[in-house]
Structure 1
Amino acid sequence: MDLGALAGRARRIHTRCRHRRLGAGERVSARARSALRRRHIPGHAGHVHDHPPRARCLGELARHLLHVHHRHLRRLGRRRFGQRAPQARPCARDARRGTEVRARPVMSVLVVDVGTSGLRAAIVTPDGEVAALHYRAFPPSSPFPGMVEFDAPGMAAAVLEVAHAALAQSGPVVAVGITAQRASAIVWDRATGEPVGPGIGWQDLRTVFDCITLKAEHGLHLAPNQSATKVAWLLNTFDPGRERDLCFGTVDSWVAWVLSRGEVHVTDHSNAAVTGLLKPDASGWSSSACAALNIPERMLPRLVDTSGVFGTAHALPGAPPLASLVGDQQGSLIGQSCVHPGMAKITFGTGGMLDMCTDAAAPTTGNRTPEGIFPIVAWSRDGRCTWGVEAIMLSAGTNVEWLVQDLGILASPAESHDVAAQCTSTDGVMYVPALMGLGTPHWDYGARGTLLGLTRGSGRAQITRAVLEGVAHRGADLVDAAEAGSGRSVPLLRVDGGMSVNPTFVQALADASGKPVEVSRHTEATTIGAAYLAGLAVGVWGSLDDIALAWKPSHVVTPGARLDRDRWAEAVERSRRWIPDLSALDF
């Protein structure tokens, strides 16, 4: 049938519908549609259902107007002569009627998430669920004790591999979000895109003495886990004369460069604020810090909003817009819908990180507060920074790995719950998880792991429970410090990370903190947060309030018997200053 015949048929059906009073005014109300759903066939986008007789008439026409080609739909009557056909998603078949239904427009977001030991790409759907997840292990190397390096070109190849795999499985997306480990440093040639040396991981300690010297000579408070001294080391090693046209970037900057094929050299405020090179109020790069380290400002990335389109992913199919950059911990904060002041999350991975949204005024200094916490940029949007605070636990899951890999009393970390559940208390055994020192609020690098209260009756069940409770006590320490330093009360805690799936640990955290604990559905909420931020930029989600309402914890754990916090404080004091020279370090 040609188009002229189809047009005539359409006029005849329209006339019959008009005589039968089946126009738009006769459609059922929105309230009635749900009750009548079984009687109606899906009609227009948004699942608006037509009156049944009219639907049957229009269905007769639709069977001729809709052509199925390679399992895709094309609407012939909606194109002008010479106009390209719009792309459509594969059609679905209505099981009740046998009619073919056009899929809704694509509104999913691709997220590239680069962690310390591996990276992933995943598709996040508008309902906040994760699909098409592809993971690639990518651990750093340690050529000497205290040195942590990674292969930046290898990272770029792995990012492209997992991103292409996710898109091949899911189809097109409306935007791309990027989240990554913070403060790791990469320096590369602007013209060729080739790194001048290894990427230096955030855990790397080769610049400890540089930090001490800078504090004494320039009054700069820099820690070795920040980017600043790592960049200076790379320049001093590979471009001592500062003659080359180089780019510096944290991992998020590098991934954006790779996905845009060198078109954008950017970072956002959440990542820039932990480099040690940003002004305390996040208004721009610090000229004084760059001068002290002899870092040319021309090599620094351009600052962009955490949420906002800043480039195009030319390296990916369809060239979707790049719409968010966010540090991993801030991504987790937003991924757990902590978008209003006083809301906090803790991520329990190898270490533990508490982040709280405060929305306070910009700080006058980026230094550690007397409570042992740090100001952070939680996110930036529409040119405005939203501030927060961060508290740090140097070792969390590492302590459970110690039970498995070194003591050998557990077969796997997951077994810690079952073993700890064999006893209802530790029978007086207490463990301070200070294998790498103590972070917030003490910041004692010379503290060491301490196991107290052992008797002849202490077994692996008591020791395992003591380790889990010790990490929970440290989590409560972070909450106390964040509340004291911010002046805000935390009504409840949200948690993610590997330890969040351990019921014994989560109950101990609720008992130690005295607060309800809401457990994230996703152990890696960072991915969700990056998707929310990218989706905000392109209209998948309309506002931060939409993100707040999207929170659906897997379950909530309420406090039971309160753990002995006074006894805990005594144990912590015994663990401190074990190595005096390290305890004397203060960055």
Structure 2
Amino acid sequence: MHYILAMDQGTTSSRAIVFDDDVRIHAIAQQEYRQLYPQPGWVEHDPQNIWQSQLAVAQQALVKAGITARDVTAIGITNQRETTLLWDRHTGEPIGNAIVWQDRRTADFCAQLKSQHGQLFRKRTGLLLDPYFSATKLAWLLDHYEGTRKRAENGELAFGTVDTWLLWNLTRGKMHVTDVTNASRTLLFDIHRNRWDDELLDVFNIPAQVLPQVYASSADYGYTAPDLFGASILIGSVAGDQQAALFGQACHAPGMVKNTYGTGCFMLMQTGEHACESQHGLLTTSAAQLDKQPVFALEGSVFICGAVIQWLRDSLSIIKNSAEIETLATSVPDSGGVYFVPAFTGLGSPHWDPHARGAIFGLTRGTTHAHIARAALEAIGYQSAELLLAMQKDAALPIKELRVDGGAAVNNLLMQHQADLLGVPVVRPRIIETTALGTAYLAGLTAGIWNSIEEIAEHWQTDRIFEPMISRDEAAQSMFNWSRVVRGCNPWGRD
């Protein structure tokens, strides 16, 4: 039997899952870590906290599975994307905290660049000039720590997204590498030529010396230092979490769509070798690659999904744990006219408004915790429906179903609401840990456990299908009401 250790480094927790070659889960270990909010709109992580928590859960998972490092054929890494780190090449010490993908501190900088460079970045990277992506965060780090830019130009510093930081630590500094999916989220990578772009680097005044090498998602990333797990283990894959989930959902053919309900909500459509340029607020991004041939996806990004449930738990104390929200929400027949727009860090696709802020509309004296909980769940569905509607407009490809995964995909109320709004079946797989599963598949291909994507697709199994239960007129009216309340969120973010 072959075992694969999937490291799944997320925005709010680090996880590790042990799979075997029949795609059975043998162990899961998870550890939440601190979220840092130094100013409104700023979100940071302690880089050492990221590394230590990920190492700890990986070690725990092996113990839980009753295996040792010598039993593990390969490691796969998947990670929160866009989160930006900078560290000393000689000591490995970070230059400040990691700036998280949700962070909005560079919104004004992006606005200044858009008029002159917006089309250039759109054409080369498939992305919009938005603080969501890594380049403006890296530029901010270089500008705000004294002497940092000079040290970067001298080759003393290393930049990376979270995958690169983990690889650096797993290999004791031997590998300064990323994969195409993470590189494609930096605003510095030409997705059509699969390489860093000097012209884009010049716009941000970022020295090329800080950049990692770029590999395919399924590749030999070296071996872990032997002292970490008791023996060296091959690192066989790296993929950003959403591209890993697309691969784990076996969405290998153009037109197949998945939606991941995690801290944020991310919908990707596989478009194959065609880089579809969106006209409706979506992104063109690199999908997981097995070789040098570029593969693309259309992506819509919702910044706040599961995070709104955490907010109800931690800030409002409406629920004690995340699992309680469905019970509370189903205790009322509907939201009582309440709409909740969780624009805590602005709005992503298709609006791209970093100045929007969260709001709850339609409150009355009869509004209860249950109505707010239901409105929060429905908000996740509304935001995701906006993404699929935009994809239908952009892609000349029929959308037959939506495959779903992530923590909130277990919520039946949300999944039914999603199917009702979309008018297509929502399909939940038997294994919803598809982010970790995707990188496990990619690592298994590197190690020779599986030989083709067709072989991998045979493992995908359905758990439940949610069919639409309301008319298209009702769905259209609901989406119209949602669009009205979203427009009301903008003034709260502006002076």
Which category describes the TM-score, using the shorter chain as reference length? 0.7 to 0.9
2:189 maps to: 278
Q: Which moved more, 1:416-425 or 1:333-342?
A: 416-425
1:304 to 200, 215, 227: 215
Contact conserved, 1:432 with 1:572, CA < 8 A, in 2?
Answer: no
Distance (whole Å) between structure 1 residues aligned to residue 173 and residue 311 of structure 2? 42
Q: Which moved more, 1:544-553 or 1:310-319?
A: 310-319
Q: State whether structure 2 residue 342 is matched by structure 1 residue 431.
A: no
Q: Which moved more, 1:412-421 or 1:501-510?
A: 412-421
1:129 maps to: 24
Q: State whether structure 2 residue 245 is matched by structure 1 residue 332.
A: yes
Secondary structure, aligned partner of 1:136: strand
1:245 maps to: 156
1:114 maps to: 9
Q: How many correspondences in the alignment?
A: 474
Q: State whether structure 2 residue 256 is matched by structure 1 residue 343.
A: yes
Contact conserved, 1:448 with 1:575, CA < 8 A, in 2?
Answer: no
Write out aligned runs for 1:218-233 (5 A). Answer: 218-219=117-118, 221-233=128-140
Q: Which moved more, 1:170-179 or 1:187-196?
A: 187-196
Distance (whole Å) between structure 2 residues aligned to residue 448 and residue 190 of structure 1? 38
Distance (whole Å) between structure 2 residues aligned to residue 116 and residue 292 of structure 1? 28
Q: State whether structure 2 residue 389 is matched by structure 1 residue 490.
A: no
Instruction: Please report how far the alpha carbon of residue 357 of structure 1 lies from its aligned counterpart in structure 2 after TM superposition.
Output: 0.9
Q: Which moved more, 1:182-191 or 1:218-227?
A: 218-227
Q: Counterpart of 1:350 in structure 2: which amino acid? A: T
Q: Counterpart of 1:255 in structure 2: which amino acid? A: L
Secondary structure, aligned partner of 1:473: helix
Secondary structure, aligned partner of 2:113: helix
Distance (whole Å) between structure 2 residues aligned to residue 253 and residue 127 of structure 1? 29
Distance (whole Å) between structure 1 residues aligned to residue 53 and residue 307 of structure 2? 26
Instruction: Please report how far the alpha carbon of residue 512 of structure 1 lies from its aligned counterpart in structure 2 after TM superposition.
Output: 1.2
Contact conserved, 2:180 with 2:286, CA < 8 A, in 1?
Answer: yes
Distance (whole Å) between structure 1 residues aligned to residue 4 and residue 205 of structure 2? 40
Secondary structure, aligned partner of 2:232: coil
The sequence identity of aligned pairs, in percent, is 36
Distance (whole Å) between structure 2 residues aligned to residue 458 and residue 291 of structure 1? 53
Contact conserved, 2:191 with 2:285, CA < 8 A, in 1?
Answer: no
1:268 maps to: 179
1:170 maps to: 67
Q: State whether structure 2 residue 141 is matched by structure 1 residue 141.
A: no
Secondary structure, aligned partner of 1:307: coil
Instruction: Please report how far the alpha carbon of residue 297 of structure 1 lies from its aligned counterpart in structure 2 after TM superposition.
Output: 1.0
Q: Counterpart of 1:303 in structure 2: which amino acid? A: V
- Superposition CA RMSD, Å: 2.6
Distance (whole Å) between structure 2 residues aligned to residue 405 and residue 119 of structure 1? 19
Is there any run of 5+ residues in structure 2 with no aligned partner, and where?
A: 122-127
* 1:421 to 1:240, Cα distance in 2 relative to 1, 3 A: closer
2:328 maps to: 419
TM-score (norm 1): 0.75
Q: State whether structure 2 residue 252 is matched by structure 1 residue 355.
A: no
Secondary structure, aligned partner of 2:219: strand
**Alpha-carbon displacement from aligned partner over 1:261-318 (angstroms, at most 9, x marks no partner):** 2221111110000011101414210101112222221221111010121312234433
Contact conserved, 1:432 with 1:451, CA < 8 A, in 2?
Answer: yes
Instruction: Please report how far the alpha carbon of residue 374 of structure 1 lies from its aligned counterpart in structure 2 after TM superposition.
Output: 0.3
Q: Counterpart of 1:575 in structure 2: which amino acid? A: V
Instruction: Please report how far the alpha carbon of residue 526 of structure 1 lies from its aligned counterpart in structure 2 after TM superposition.
Output: 0.9
Instruction: Please report how far the alpha carbon of residue 576 of structure 1 lies from its aligned counterpart in structure 2 after TM superposition.
Output: 0.7
Is there any run of 5+ residues in structure 1 with no aligned partner, and where?
A: 1-105
Q: Counterpart of 1:548 in structure 2: which amino acid? A: A
2:169 to 258, 276, 301: 258
Write out aligned runs for 1:429-508 (5 A). Answer: 429-436=337-344, 437-447=346-356, 449=358, 451=360, 459-508=368-417
2:109 maps to: 210
Q: Counterpart of 1:490 in structure 2: which amino acid? A: I
* 1:508 to 1:108, Cα distance in 2 relative to 1, 3 A: same
Distance (whole Å) between structure 2 residues aligned to residue 440 and residue 507 of structure 1? 22
Contact conserved, 1:448 with 1:576, CA < 8 A, in 2?
Answer: no
* 1:159 to 1:292, Cα distance in 2 relative to 1, 3 A: same
Which of 1 and 2 has higher RCO (CA within 8 Å, sep 6+)? Answer: 2
1:91 maps to: none
2:468 maps to: 559
* 1:256 to 1:490, Cα distance in 2 relative to 1, 3 A: same
Q: Which moved more, 1:344-353 or 1:370-379?
A: 344-353
2:125 maps to: none
Distance (whole Å) between structure 2 residues aligned to residue 522 and residue 161 of structure 1? 24
